Chain A
Amino acid sequence: MRLGRHAFGDDDPLMMGIVNRTPDSFFDKGATWAEDAAFARVAEVVAQGAEIVDIGGIKAAPGVEISAAEEKARVVDFVAQVRATYPDLVISVDTWRAEVGAAVCAAGADVLNDAWGGADPELVDVAAEHDAAIICTHTGGVTPRTRPYRIEYDDVVAAAIADTTAYAQRALDAGVARESIVIDPAHDFGKNTFHSLEVTRRLGEMVATGWPVLVSLSNKDFVGETLGLDVGERLVGTLAATSVCALAGARIYRVHQVVETRQTVDMVWSIAGRRPPLRAIRGLQ
């Protein structure tokens, strides 16, 4: 797998730390809205071992309309600053807009994380032009920044596989490198809690497509609704879902809590026989 300038082994799970340049995202509620706070957040997740940062200028939920110009003002210079400070860090930008994608790639971004499943058809061309990676998500065709409402699928996993692999093929046809295409079932996007639970349970079917799979589970509503917990109380449930996805072989984990997720994924990776223990001597002296 190659994410822009950065290549990774076929069996390395990667942590993608979430950095919101927004005043209103659900988890941090604007804690990293100011540029210096956002930069401190980048430093934090880097220190915690995240290979990737995912910088977003617009919260996923409905809210005030943010123009492309405003989105660019929030992320482009910031990406350039992060690029200059952390040359070895993979920079992903969470955007669905080609115009924004082009600007952040020019500023040093490596990955375009299209959380809205190809809403802007030209985003793949931007990724190809800049040799950037692209995350192909499944949203069930909903409009960006809308909540799912009475969406039904004959088979949500089959739909997620069909849509994300079609998107991946579209990216490939546009000239994006095969090793730079990742698919994401997009928990909670165009999905109710039952859908997200089923996607988690059957994640192995997505892995079996051969495309590397990203999961974005962190503190989401499907965890909250399943356990009856508010946003600040969902870490344990998030990690349980993370374990299931890790056992199935998900490669990239988009997270708020890097350290806890890394421990969880490392443990599951070792259980799965894909990673040796760090240091095992008990009974082997």
Chain B
Amino acid sequence: MKQFVAFVKKEFRHIFRDQRTLIILFGMPIVQLILFGFALNNEIKDAGIAIFDQSKDVMSIRLKGKMLSSGYFKEVEELYSYKQIEKAFKTGEVKLALVIGSDFGKQLERKEAARIQLIGDASDPNTAQTLTNYAELIIRDFEQEIHSNGIEVQRGASAIPRMMYNPEQKAVFMFVPGVMALILMLVSAMMTSITIAREKEQGTMDILMISPLKPVQIILGKVTPYLLLSLINGTVIVLMGLFVFGMPVRGSFLLLFMEMLLFIITALGLGILISSKANSQMTAMFISMVGLMMPTILLSGFIFPIENMPLPLQVIAQVLPAKWFIIIIKSVMLKGSGLFNVWLPSLVLASMAAVFLVVSMRNIKPRING
């Protein structure tokens, strides 16, 4: 045990002496979260809207007012004909056009279907989709308002969507679990594989193997500091999510930590596996980058929905620990799920961790170079 403590102490010295490591460890999570949380925001505020109001009655002005006071839209242009719509789009400032048919108010009064048209600029399809969604929500809200004022609206069966768990559809709710998966993968898998590869590269692994330390102790000694630092990092991300971005933790913190620990162990297993194959730091870094970081960013469902991927990529996504981790974290944080709800993804993660650890431990053989 004393030997083990001496080893872990040495590991911490390596970490705290190397500024690059420190920056990656503590700077990265914060920068990433801020980047994803603020800069890559796909929420829309004050999008330019052009309005072609053919009625100009009380009701249409009321709808207009509701639209513009929502915070999502600001009126850039008032239109007087259909022809002007395309011209407005071409300026680039207008992202959505709202056309209110003539006799809007009268139609509502007569309980007829009032005609409203939304025209989006789909040269940027995501924005157009999001904007029309926002506008539709506002219009539906408007309908309900006047309905409660005693005016009945004629309509067939229509669904009223309600976005549960994230009613404002905040993107940051997706980014917090994603960044957490990414950072934990980075610290646990990549940094571990690099630090073990470094011992091999510098020849100090020979000395460790010849010392009374058992191979298992060496590996545990190497990963323990990264396990602790990963937990700290995970906690920082959860707290930042909570206090900076308002992402709630509706489930239990204990479960959240246990799941985090499980994911960290899985990532550490991967890191050890990589380092058992890589004999230099460069190789370890390259394998981690291409084999772990890229798929975690692109395929884990963190940025692009897995359901929209072609089948082969969907299959790959299934074997990414991050995919399962993100499912768990979102469920625990947003839906307040207990272990009972997330046992399946947890089991998948645990099995992955077991496989990685067993395979990597088998691969670590005491050996001297030469």
Query: Are A and B part of the same complex?
Result: no
Q: Which residues of A contact B (CB under 8 A)?
A: none
Q: Which residues of B contact A (CB under 8 A)?
A: none
